[in-house]
Structure 1
């Protein structure tokens, strides 16, 4: 198993609490994460909860299963990828920017590549990074208008 690591960040015009609320609204993640639909499989969306995210286009893609292993509102969340295709860890951090209602949202992944695919990461990384960067740009637009579910 080889590691595939990536960390990207985006400035967000919202206070950390607002960024946190938008990022942990799992069911709406598909509104900003390209080609992804997230479902809470078990739990309340907090530590110990299990998530399933289908990522793909036109029904072609893969299922990424995860367990939330750490949450420290409004600062960080860490998940463990538990699927047969994707394993490892990922998460995000929310960093306050000064005394204003601005934050930095940092998304990171430290994934284990299936046996024999490690050498593909340098080829796959640019496309993965492009999709994640575009998703984070969409998140920065989504976040200030986000309203928590009633």
Structure 2
């Protein structure tokens, strides 16, 4: 396993509190994140210690919230067999910033360009989602 660090951001025409609310609406994440569904499996989903499971194209990613600081940041610890590491979902001004530090399999350099393209596309969808979030 090697380590991959990823940081991407998107500008959002919405106030920080709205961006934060949209990014932490786990049940609706499938509306903007390609091929992903998220469910809260332990806790409230809005507190340290809560656990989430994201399934992206069949890959299960169990996460524990390690920091909950509205409307600024949510940090997670990835607990899965395939996805391990840490992630931060942050609001900086009027931007949504997605950062991950992951242990990745040996083949990740081959799929990285497609993974990043999908993530960039999803972040653009997130901006539209957050701008109209209710």
Superposition pairs of residues 35-74 of structure 1, within 5 angstroms: 35-45=35-45, 46-56=47-57, 61-74=58-71
Pair 1:123-2:123 in alignment: no
| Separation in 2, partners of 1:40, 1:92 | 16
| Separation in 2, partners of 1:143, 1:113 | 30
SS in 1 for 2:100: strand
User: How many angstroms does 1:126 deviate by?
Assistant: 0.8
User: How many angstroms does 1:89 deviate by?
Assistant: 0.5
Superposition pairs of residues 135-146 of structure 1, within 5 angstroms: 135-146=122-133
User: How many angstroms does 1:122 deviate by?
Assistant: 2.2
| Separation in 2, partners of 1:105, 1:86 | 22
User: How many angstroms does 1:125 deviate by?
Assistant: 1.3
Give the gaps of 5 or more residues in structure 1. Answer: 97-102
Following superposition, which runs of at least 4 residues in structure 1 exceed 2 angstroms of deviation?
none
User: How many angstroms does 1:145 deviate by?
Assistant: 1.4
SS in 2 for 1:132: helix
User: How many angstroms does 1:17 deviate by?
Assistant: 0.3
| Separation in 2, partners of 1:25, 1:93 | 14
Structure 1 counterpart of 2:9? 9
Q: TM-score, normalised by structure 2?
A: 0.95
User: How many angstroms does 1:95 deviate by?
Assistant: 1.0
Q: TM-score, normalised by structure 1?
A: 0.86
SS in 1 for 2:49: coil
SS in 2 for 1:105: strand
The structure having more radius of gyration, on CA atoms, is: 1
